[in-house]
Amino acid sequence: MALGRFLLKRGIQGVLVVWGVVTAVFLLRFITPGDPVTFVAPLDASAELRAQIAAELGLDQPLYVQYADYIVGLLQGDMGYSYLRGTEASTIVLARVPATVELAVAATVVAVVIAIPLGVISATRRRDPADYGATLFSLVGISTPNFWLGIMLILVLSVQLDIFPTSRRPIGFFETFAFLVTVENGFAAPMNVGAFLDGLRTWLWHIALPAVTLGTYFTALVTRLTRSGMIEELGQPYVRAARAKGLPESLIQYKHALQNTLIPIVTVLGLQLGTLIGGAVITEAVFAWPGLGTLVIDSINVRDWPLIQGSLIVIGTGFVLINIFVDALYAYLNPRVVH
Amino acid sequence: MISPRTLRNLRSELSRSLLAKLGIAILAVILFTAVFAPLLAPHDPTEQDLDNANVPPLGFTATENQTSSQMVDGEVQIVEEEVVVNTTTAHPLGTDSLGRDVLSRTMFGARTSLLVGLFGTSIAVVLGVTVGITAGYYGGRIDDALMRFADVMLAFPSLVLAIALIGLWGQASLRIPDPLVAFGIASAEMPENIVLPGTVIAVVALVNWVWFARVARGEALSVRDQEYVKAARSMGGSDLHVILRHVLPNSLTPILVLATIQIAAIILLESSLSFLGFSGAQLSWGFDIAQGRQYLSSSWWIATVPGLAIVGAVVGINLIGDWLRDALDPDIEGQGGAP
């Protein structure tokens, strides 16, 4: 099957890119000034103690041995131990993944749900107040730094109007489902629907502002792309033919024209994935959201190398995976690329 | 290099587009402010005045809780009272928590943003165009190697990469004497140096050159086999001559459009890095937003004003980018992006 072969090829390329990322992240430590031992050892550590710490961390081995050890460890899911917390780096890093994924997905949902109808309306009612409004929104939206937008949302909606909480993530999306499936003494306890709904509400209230903060840039971008794409498609001969055939206008707009517009939108979104992940990092910092972004920043500040490397590798791998997903989506929407 | 036809396109697009005129006007104001900041700013942006801290902008009021010890019925008591902080015409946009003038800081902050954008983009252009044209012109293994390297670079969100590099390499600042102060045109009380975050300039160039490399490579590839290039080569033109005389001029239009968009993206990246405290800049819009964030509930203007300045600058540059793109119609996809 053509799509299968296409995905296999992209998968192999993806593995190579991940290997490149792992190598770059590994080498980062060696082109960074400062000896990791300094950050772990007590200030008055003797030379023997320092040598002993270096040996324990495997830092006395030649570079290629450390590299081989690191790759073998990674393949077994071992990222080493956090210098400061002493626990396994992989556990710490993976525990942060759901928060970041939730944020990125919520932002994408916000963007798609708002932007596509807005772009279609804007394209079909050109020079209408709605069109000018949408154009202005998308211009300002792609020009606003999202950390500042987040702070302004906190200022107005949390501090002044007291509608949303200012920060944190007290409960994860999937954690709320634990209220539905609880086991007590080996028996399934009755479902606690009230607690489940409460948890879901708490989750929604806390993710609302971060999701809007991260999603605004993409909402603006997709609105812009949808508008220009739709304007182009609606001028095509097949649209005229469909109209002549007497098809309802809504069917023409939302089915035929929009479907062809989605192809360039998916392309640009694929190219903008780095922006989504970078934006997630800074959004997490604004809202004290416990994801990979805050982990990277915190561990860089204390030079906790296993955590720095682990989180960078997970971010890079996630990025490659979403890219493959976007390519597959693209191939599905536009079967010509597969052949 | 710039043909009469190009100029004609630029002019006719400008006369048609209101938004393009608006963009030029906005950028002109910001550029003027940045260049003549020492003459225009009412105060030294670094001068502290603790007696006049947290003064609100003209037309707004603010209250502050003050504690003092007072004699009440012959006993000393600690009294907390709400004091109204008065606005003053000396500080039209108010002051921050250390009594520094927000208007002056915002004016001087424009210099940091624009210079980092300009220097960062220039380095990225030189680096990217050199690599891209070399890869595209020679093709073969050099091309493969360089483009695979570019893929790995792009496999990383630029903000995350920038945070990692700056956080680990440290902050170096670049001091340029301010000519207006050095030649006695502006008051000697103004800061005598323009301090720029040097590491940030290097790092933003390092994470953004890939976009230019891709565009330049594409152009070089398409020009390489044209008749006139073959003719130039057969007449004994050296590779360097052919590249400088024929390949490079053809790449200029798309590079110019991309560079405009990248300046905006780099301004956003710089402000994000300053906001997170990674840039080391002490006089920058992002840094001021981070400062103001701590006083959000009492002094909203400290974080609001510099944010509006960022949005203004980026909107202006993006409008100019749209104008150039519509007038010159280069073939570029994906445009880097905001963090």
3-state secondary structure B230-257: HHHHHCCCCHHHHHHHHHHHHHHHHHHH
Rounded Cα–Cα distance for residues A108 and A219 (Å): 8
Q: Which DSSP letter does residue B55 get? A: P
User: SS3 for B76-100, per residue?
Assistant: EEEEEEEEEECCCCCCCCCECCCCC
Partners of B311 on chain A (C-beta within 8 Å) are 140, 143-145, 148
pLDDT at A186: 66
Partners of A16 on chain B (C-beta within 8 Å) are 148
Rounded Cα–Cα distance for residues B139 and B237 (Å): 19
Buried/exposed code over B61-93 (b: 16+ C-beta within 10 A; e: otherwise): ebeeeeeeeeeeeeeeeeeeeeeebebeeebeb
What is the CA B242 to chain-centroid distance, rounded? 34
Rounded Cα–Cα distance for residues A203 and B209 (Å): 40
Q: Mean pLDDT across the stretch A302-331? A: 84
Partners of B333 on chain A (C-beta within 8 Å) are 267-268, 271
Å between B182 CA and nearest CA of chain A: 34
What is the CA A254 to chain-centroid distance, rounded? 28
Residue in the block written with tokens 């239009």: B253
What amino acid is encoded at B135 in this protein? A
Instruction: Using DSSP, state whether B57 is helix, strand or coil.
Output: coil
Å between A325 CA and nearest CA of chain B: 14
Q: Mean pLDDT across the stretch A247-270? A: 80
Q: Which parts of chain B fold into alpha helices (H)?
A: 4-16, 18-35, 37-40, 102-138, 140-154, 158-169, 179-182, 198-224, 227-234, 239-242, 248-275, 285-293, 301-328
Please report, for chain B, the start and end positions of each structural domain, with discontinuous segments joined by +: 4-58+90-333
Residue B54 backbone class (left: φ over 0; alpha: ψ -120 to 50; beta: rest):
left
Å between B71 CA and nearest CA of chain A: 35
Look at strands A183-184 and A187-188 and give their pairing.
antiparallel
Nearest chain B residue to A283 by CA: give it. Answer: B339
What amino acid is encoded at B123 in this protein? I
pLDDT at B193: 83
Rounded Cα–Cα distance for residues A272 and B336 (Å): 7
Token pair, residue B113, equals 């943003």
Start-to-end C-alpha separation, chain A: 11
User: What is the torsion angle, in degrees rounded to the nearest 10, for the CA atoms of residue B228, residue B229, residue B234 and residue B237?
Assistant: 120
Is A102 buried (19+), middle (13-18) or exposed (0-12) by CB count in 10 A?
buried
pLDDT at B304: 92
pLDDT at B336: 41
Rounded Cα–Cα distance for residues B6 and A314 (Å): 46
pLDDT at B28: 94
Q: How confident is the model at residue A190 (pLDDT cuts 50, 70, 90)?
A: low
Nearest to B312 by CA among A145, A133, A72, A46: A145
- ipTM summary value: 0.84
Q: Which of B307, B334, B339 sits opposite A282 (nearest CB)?
A: B339
Rounded Cα–Cα distance for residues B173 and B281 (Å): 8
Low-confidence ranges of chain B (pLDDT < 50): 333-339
Token pair, residue A133, equals 């409004």
Å between B18 CA and nearest CA of chain A: 13
Q: Any idea which of A60-64, A218-222, B19-23 has the lowest mean pLDDT? A: A60-64
Q: Report how far apart, in Å, the C-alpha atoms of A25 and of each of A18, A33, A310 are.
A: 10, 15, 9
Q: Any idea which of A101-110, A281-290, A296-305, B312-321 has the lowest mean pLDDT? A: A296-305
Architecture of domain B4-58+90-333 in this structure: Orthogonal Bundle (1.10)
User: What is the torsion angle, in degrees rounded to the nearest 10, for the CA atoms of residue B290, residue B294, residue B298 and residue B300?
Assistant: 20
Rounded Cα–Cα distance for residues A66 and A277 (Å): 29
Q: How confident is the model at residue A62 (pLDDT cuts 50, 70, 90)?
A: confident
Q: What angle do CA A188, A190, A191 make, to 5 degrees?
A: 105
Q: Which of B152, B157, B292 sits opposite A315 (nearest CB)?
A: B157
**Structural Rg of chain A based on CA atoms:** 25
pLDDT at B339: 42
Partners of A151 on chain B (C-beta within 8 Å) are 289, 292-293, 296, 303, 307
pLDDT at B127: 92
Q: Which of B167, B300, B315 sits opposite A143 (nearest CB)?
A: B315
Partners of B286 on chain A (C-beta within 8 Å) are 145, 147
The answer to whether the CB atoms of B164 and A285 lie below 8 A apart is no
Buried/exposed code over B297-309 (b: 16+ C-beta within 10 A; e: otherwise): ebbbbbbbbbbeb
Å between B166 CA and nearest CA of chain A: 10
Nearest chain A residue to B167 by CA: give it. Answer: A300
Cβ atoms of A179 and A195 within 8 Å: the answer is: yes
Residues of chain B that touch chain A, judged by Cβ-Cβ distance less than 8 Å:
19, 148, 151-152, 154-160, 163-164, 167-170, 264, 268, 271-272, 275-276, 286, 289, 292-293, 296-297, 300, 303-304, 307, 310-311, 314-315, 318-319, 333-335, 337-339
CB count in 10 Å sphere of residue A71: 13
Partners of A155 on chain B (C-beta within 8 Å) are 296, 300, 303-304
The answer to whether the CB atoms of A143 and B264 lie below 8 A apart is yes
CB count in 10 Å sphere of residue A129: 8
Token pair, residue A116, equals 């596509």
Residue A186 backbone class (left: φ over 0; alpha: ψ -120 to 50; beta: rest):
left
Q: Mean pLDDT across the stretch A191-213? A: 84
Partners of A316 on chain B (C-beta within 8 Å) are 155-156
The answer to whether the CB atoms of A315 and B300 lie below 8 A apart is no
pLDDT at B86: 76
Rounded Cα–Cα distance for residues A274 and A271 (Å): 7
Cβ atoms of A277 and A318 within 8 Å: the answer is: yes
For residue B195, list its beta bridge partners: B175
Å between B307 CA and nearest CA of chain A: 6
Å between B194 CA and nearest CA of chain A: 24
Å between B334 CA and nearest CA of chain A: 6
Q: What angle do CA A39, A45, A48 make, to 5 degrees?
A: 110
Nearest chain B residue to A22 by CA: give it. Answer: B152
Nearest-10 crossing angle of helices B285-293, B301-328: 140
CB count in 10 Å sphere of residue B264: 26
Q: Which residue has the higher pLDDT, B83 or A159?
A: A159
Q: Which of B158, B271, B311 sits opposite A274 (nearest CB)?
A: B158
pLDDT at B322: 86
